[in-house]
Structure 1
Amino acid sequence: MAKFGRLIGVSLGPGDPDLITIKAYKALKSEAIWSYPIRKKGAESFALQIALNAGFQLPKTNIPLIFPMTHDPEKLASYWHKAAEAVLVPLSAGLDVVFLVEGDASTYSTFGHLVRTVLEKEPRIKTETIAGVSSFNAAAAISGEMLVEVEETMAIVPAGYGVKLLEKLMVDFDTLVLLKVKPLLDDIIEFAEKYDMVSQCRFIEKAGTNEEIVVKDIRTLKGKTVNYLSLIIIHNPHKPRVEIMRGCQKK
């Protein structure tokens, strides 16, 4: 019976190399083949850069995998197919392959697409996910804000779902984490102004990197272009935390 290698999603955190876990560090130090995502041929890989900033050197044998910035399902399927075929070569030879992921490999990551496509082609491949620090956890720590406390609730959504969804979510949740806010930034700012929530918002771009930006007054960003790796944390002003804490003290 053929012996296959493992496909391992290695979470590297949002950018600060000090947030790489010991388990991820061990996987990078192993004999596994490195694979990593890029947006187009010849482009830099943010995930790879995190590993390089941690002092690792890119192994001579490595596999850059192209995952373009598009929502076209047919085009994406084609690239996922090519990526799966590329990693299946060493996997079928019994070699482990690590796939480098910024943030956490189980949270809005291309690793999930890669795993599904690989298993469709070869169901006998074993997969593993190494958990990591998500961007919103790092962003909250950087901004000095608690994401949730006591019995508070939280929703984490890509901002692309639109402002109408945000209006519904604010009815039920104490904290909203809006990911990938670049395309709808002005709409989100107007939403925050409309519901008097500007003071409860924190904008964080490229958390944990040397280019990290934290903005407390998101109105200053109106009309500006921000990085794709940006998010906004909103605390619901209609559910003030001081009341929650007082309620706990009365018990």
Structure 2
Amino acid sequence: MTATLTGVGVGPGDPELLTLRAVRVLREADVVFVPVLDRPAADGTATPGRAETTVSPHVPPDRLRRLPFALDDRGGVTVRRERAWDAAARTVTAAVDRGARALAFATIGDPNVYSTFGYLAQTVRALRPEVTVRTVPGVTAMQELAARSGIPLCEGREPLTLLPVTAGLALFADAVAGPGTVVAYKGWRRHPELLAELRRQGRLADAVLGSGLGLPGELVGPAAGTEGEPPYLSTLLVPARRRRRGGKL
């Protein structure tokens, strides 16, 4: 039998947002891998990641395996990142060599949207071309934030722009100046600059911020007044300008 590695999107954090397909694949898997930070706490323990917390109600502990990644590294492809990708891929292929045929990797959001799974899958394919790679889509943070804030992401002819702030503030500014909704990920370290740009363009009053969605202590509300540095997993949503119902059909 050919082994299959499936990247499973588990949503932004709320276990109730797992799809029926995601739950089925997780329960049927011989082993479920979850990403964790490769830097342990001061006491030497590894803190469970959001993906692990989300899937733990559906997966027995003996089938969960943690894969360390350089999740807090910044600035492109680093030696630390590459070593983590290689080590994770070797752990996956070792499970295949031991007889695992259904392998799953749980990732927050969607496995095809800014996910670590893409790097893992690419490396596993290089080591074991015979392994089949699949994905199960998941609810993204921008979808959950839109639902929680009551803001449609796009209407009529409006474009929807999703961008990482790590790509630069100029890209964000250009998108905000456009006609559609803008969603910014990975903006926690430059949050004050994002607010300043929204204020400059007269868009701050409508923007909303979501942090820790689906987790205790979550924040969903106006972006205005959130001048401090939000948590890493925060989403900024800037809705399109809409003057009347159906105005962009």
- Secondary structure of 1:128's match? strand
Q: Which has the higher helix share?
A: 1
Q: In the alignment, what sits opposite 2:16?
A: 18
Q: Separation in 1 of the partners of 2:180 and 2:247?
A: 16
The corresponding residue for 1:149 is 155
1:9 aligns with 2:17: no
Asked whether 1:70 is paired with 2:70, we answer no
Specify the alignment match of 1:82 in structure 2. 87
- Percent pairwise identity: 23
Alignment of 1:88-237 (within 5 A): 88-92=93-97, 93-216=99-222, 218-222=223-227, 224-236=228-240
Q: Distance in 2 between matches of 1:158 and 1:225?
A: 16
Q: What is the distance in 1 between the residues matched to 2:165 and 2:128? A: 35
- CA gap of 1:171–1:197, structure 2 versus 1, over 3 A, is closer
Figure out how many residues of one structure are paired with residues of the other and give that number. Answer: 239
Question: In structure 2, how many angstroms separate the alpha carbons of the residues matched to 1:246 and 1:11?
Answer: 34
Q: TM-score, normalised by structure 2?
A: 0.90
Q: Is the 8 Å Cα contact of residues 7 and 91 (structure 1) preserved in structure 2?
A: no
Separation in 1, partners of 2:177, 2:231: 29
Q: Which has the larger radius of gyration?
A: 1
Q: CA deviation at 1:116?
A: 0.1
Name the CA distance, whole Å, in 2 between partners of 1:221 and 1:178: 15
Q: How far apart are 1:180 and its partner, in Å?
A: 1.6
- Contact map agreement 2:205 2:224 (CA 8 A) in 1: no
Shift, 1:243, TM fit: 4.4
State whether residues 107 and 117 of structure 2, in contact with CA within 8 Å, keep that contact through their aligned partners in structure 1.
yes
Secondary structure, aligned partner of 2:225? helix
SS of match in other structure, 2:113? coil
Alignment pair present for 1:29 and 2:35: no
Runs of 4 or more, structure 1, over 6 Å off, are none
Gaps of 5+ in 2: 41-45
With normalisation by structure 1, the TM-score equals 0.89
**In 2, Cα distance between equivalents of 1:46 and 1:226:** 17
The alpha-carbon deviation at position 244 of structure 1 amounts to 6.5
Judged with a 3 Å threshold, the aligned counterparts in structure 2 of structure 1 residues 118 and 247 are, in CA distance, closer, same or farther, namely: closer
Q: Deviations over 1:76-95 (max 9, x none)?
A: 11110100000101223242
Cα distance in 2 between the residues matched to 1:131 and 1:247: 29
Give the C-alpha shift of residue 171 in structure 1: 3.6
